[in-house]
């Protein structure tokens, strides 16, 4: 069904906090104070779990070359592997692979047997931890833009859920990519709930469009400042009044800490910057844990809301 007057582009934020508000005050990992041990000695040795220079040197040796990490990973998964097959699996130059294999053998991480190379017990132990660290690092690097603006403790969402999230970030080539994902979720859904720290014309049009469809149900939560701005701005007043007639609009008494959108196809979580645009958006496929988390967030928000009545 077409929606009269819909615009094709993405406009700037119409509702939400003003730009003067600045940062939303999330914890910035860059500001974290890192200190050494209680006695000021960061090179403590000995004792269970101590971080020794020898251990750090071995980690440095293993991670200095991607070939070494990939060799350990291949051997821990496959067992005995011939040199030629290893070279193909790690995608390395023959001389480079040979040099790294010899170094790993010399340090006792792998063995050169008549049937091929095998990982040692010590090598398997370190490889399991090293690959887990590599996977965690990859996830952290991918999530870094989002986690910079999210208070994870406040979210109450298990970070393991983030491993399954699809991430859309704003970048110079398309600064509105996360907003486009918000709009797409609302347009595709039949029933949708959204807590919106910021809102623009395209989001409002998508809400109205979905609410007008057969069995369409839309609930949106907006901050009081956004409601006031949408009602008092000529460009948005008529559209917002129409949205209030077709959707359930709840006015939130306070500052929404993040964007949450929930529909049958998935749950979205978004972070905003000082300019009120969603900069990073994570989309989760719906499972029981994610659905329960989203329902809990909306229940918490709704406790501080009242319905915005339509004004004729």
Is 2 domain-assigned? Answer: no
pLDDT computed for residue 37 by the predictor: 40
What CATH number corresponds to the domain at position 226?
A: 3.30.870.10
Closest CA to 271 of 138, 168, 141: 168
Domain that holds residue 58: 53-139
Q: How many C-beta neighbours within 10 Å does residue 247 have?
A: 23
Residue 284's beta-bridge partner residues?
Answer: 267
Burial 44-68 (b: 16+ CB within 10 A, else e): eeeeeeeeeeeeeeeeeebeebebb
Largest Cα span, the chain: 86
HSE toward the beta carbon, residue 79, CA cutoff 13 A: 1
Angle, helices 201-212/177-188, rounded to nearest 10 degrees: 10
What CATH number corresponds to the domain at position 93?
A: 1.10.10.10
Last-in-domain residue among 114, 139, 164: 139
Ordered mean pLDDT values, 10 residues apiece, the chain (312 residues):
57 58 33 39 51 89 91 93 89 87 94 94 92 83 70 70 80 90 94 94 96 95 96 94 96 93 92 76 86 92 92 64
pLDDT computed for residue 288 by the predictor: 83
pLDDT computed for residue 289 by the predictor: 85
pLDDT computed for residue 308 by the predictor: 94
The verdict on 204 and 237 lying in the same domain is: yes
The verdict on 198 and 249 lying in the same domain is: yes
Assigned token pair, 165: 């999230």
pLDDT computed for residue 45 by the predictor: 46
Last-in-domain residue among 139, 163, 190: 139
The verdict on 97 and 229 lying in the same domain is: no
The verdict on 167 and 277 lying in the same domain is: yes
Is 203 domain-assigned? Answer: yes
The verdict on 233 and 259 lying in the same domain is: yes
- The total of structural domains in the chain comes to 2
The verdict on 179 and 75 lying in the same domain is: no
């Amino acid at each position: 069904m077409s929606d009269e007057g819909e615009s094709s582009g993405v406009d700037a934020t119409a509702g939400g906090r003003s730009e003067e508000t600045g940062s939303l005050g999330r914890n910035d990992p860059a500001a974290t104070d890192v200190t050494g041990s209680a006695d000021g000695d960061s090179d403590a040795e000995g004792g269970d779990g101590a971080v020794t220079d020898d251990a750090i040197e071995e980690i440095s040796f293993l991670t200095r070359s991607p070939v070494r990490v990939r060799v350990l990973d291949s051997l821990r998964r496959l067992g005995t592997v011939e040199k030629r097959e290893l070279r193909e699996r790690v995608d390395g130059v023959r001389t480079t692979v040979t040099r790294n294999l010899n170094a790993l053998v010399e340090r006792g991480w792998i063995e050169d047997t008549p049937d091929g190379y095998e990982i040692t017990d010590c090598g398997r132990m370190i490889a399991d931890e090293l690959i887990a660290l590599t996977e965690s690092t990859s996830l952290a690097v991918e999530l870094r833009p989002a986690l910079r603006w999210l208070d994870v403790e406040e979210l109450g969402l298990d970070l393991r859920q983030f491993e399954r999230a699809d991430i859309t970030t704003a970048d110079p080539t398309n600064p509105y990519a996360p907003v486009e994902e918000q709009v797409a979720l609302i347009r595709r859904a039949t029933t949708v709930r959204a807590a919106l720290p910021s809102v623009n014309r395209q989001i409002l049009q998508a809400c109205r469009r979905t609410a007008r469809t057969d069995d369409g149900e839309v609930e949106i939560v907006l901050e009081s400042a956004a409601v006031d701005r949408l009602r008092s701005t000529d460009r948005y007043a008529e559209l917002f009044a129409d949205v209030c007639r077709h959707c359930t609009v709840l006015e939130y008494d306070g500052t929404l800490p993040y964007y949450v959108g929930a529909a049958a196809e998935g749950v979205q979580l978004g972070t905003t910057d000082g300019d009120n645009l969603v900069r990073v958006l994570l989309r989760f496929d719906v499972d029981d844990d994610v659905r329960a988390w989203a329902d809990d967030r909306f229940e918490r928000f709704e406790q501080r809301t009242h319905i915005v009545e339509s004004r004729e």
